[in-house]
Structure 1
Amino acid sequence: MEEIRVTNIQKYSIHDGNGIRTTVFFKGCPLRCQWCHNPETQGYSPQLMFYKERCIGCGNCERFCQRHAVRIVENDAGIRLAETDRHKCIGCGECSDICLANARELCGKSYTVRELFRELKKDTAFYETSGGGVTLSGGEVLSMNMDFIETLAHMLYDNGISVYIDTSGAIPYENIQRILPYTEIFLYDIKSMSESVHKAYTGVSNEHILENLIRLNKEKGRIWLRIPIIAGVNDDLNNIEEIIAFLKNNFIRPEHIHLLPYHTVGIDKYERLEEPPREKMLVPKEQTLEALKDIFEKAGFDHVYIGG
């Protein structure tokens, strides 16, 4: 079975489900959300993150790069800095290995399923004492090799470890079906009920996502609904009322509803990946979040929270 790339294994996580959890962030996602605070998880291939403030211009990266993707240049202030041609870079990681200043970091460590299982099993004591477990996230975990993901979830399940799946739903439903027997909770995103808004800000339609949520509910999957709230994008009353109508019309009663306010943590990652600037997203106002929470509660939904 092939290896799968992971950008981070976050220990002692308390925002991705019940109890103390270990959250695995897999690398690769079919969406390109404009507000994404983990852009390093979007691409499926390894990516280089460059911390230019650390660079000392020593030239090691230029000398060792076999694809000649790196060169040392002087900026207007006469400071020597490494410059990477992203079209030539293949993410081999050699330059990060020899960087004297730790200015270059490769995102995307590869694991076999057994290696990853062993790493996750180390935290069993925390899971048992707190009622926690493992949350498989992304990127989009269900867009990975499903033989790998199903095997991993099955191994965790067989060892009495709770499995939560954090998904955008933008995947074939067959992938959800494969993981359903081993999954305690699905953390399922709805970003916008407007197809045009959804496509403009994520790059994909929401039609398939909503269809998958309906099917998952019919097959008795336990659902925690997560709604990222971005000011001026989806924090309007009409969007929330449409979500409520959709849930009621399809008899979907999420066990939890989480309104996740957009935050600016992670903005620097776009610069480190040397990606073009994106449209500036705005943090929602606290009173707006409270009003949206109140609307859900007045519509008869329990366990509505602001935050993860």
Structure 2
Amino acid sequence: MGDDSGRSSPSGPRSPSARPLVEPLPGEPAATATIDDERALFVADYHAGYEAGLRYERGVDVPSRAAARREHLLSLLERVRPDRLVVLGDLMHSIGDPGGAERGELEVLFESFSAELSVTVVKGNHDGRIETWLADGTDIDASVTVEPGAGVALGDVGVCHGHTWPAPAVLEREVVCLGHEHPCVRLEDEVGGSRVERAWLRGRLDPDPFRDRPEYEDVSWLEEATESPPRVVVVPAFNDLVGGTWINVTGQSFLSPFLPAGLAAGEAYLLDGTRLGPYESV
């Protein structure tokens, strides 16, 4: 939608005739993406087993929402019918090997996927040794690929988790998508009430944090001022229990090593597409 409605695409402005490479699904913490000739669904920070983690780490007893998470994702897959599901890190919650409840949740999830679905999992800081067990002992028909947390180029889109510096190939794409931050905004009303909502964060990559790092010496746009830097899209957490970075609250620290310094003209959007404007002034 155009600016007159107060809504726009968090993947950034495009010409009227061009279809954005990454398009958030209205009302959902998920986006569709064009990867060569494939249609993909992007989600981040699923955090399977989060409730078990709360009991173990904090002594907080929260009923499992594993079934609701699974049905939510399956409903999006049914709605979008993608060729590929891309998970931008933190598919699971435990940092080491998953516990029984967590692994069981993921096994049931993957066994629910269509045999025609390809799955790409970018490792997050919570994903431990996920590549050693994901398909081990499970009846998974889907084709599963696990990529390192620094990310990978998928067509014209670079994907990474965001907890570490991205691979050079990620920065050479037209759009860079990441998770990890769980971006949220705190909204206040006229009588002093407040609420926290998940949000999209988008802008352009600022070259300054990347220029002095030797691994990026061959990334051409970092030195060519006339080149348009890639757009960046920070995807909200799929799991609505995990909290996150309040991007419009003074004193909040970003989690990614290249944010917020690597974000130019950053703007926030609610899940329904409402454009909030520059995130610092929301």
Q: TM-score range by the shorter chain?
A: 0.3 to 0.5
The TM-score normalised by the length of structure 2 is 0.37
Q: Which has the larger radius of gyration?
A: 1
So what's the TM-score if we normalise by structure 1?
0.35
More helix by share: 1
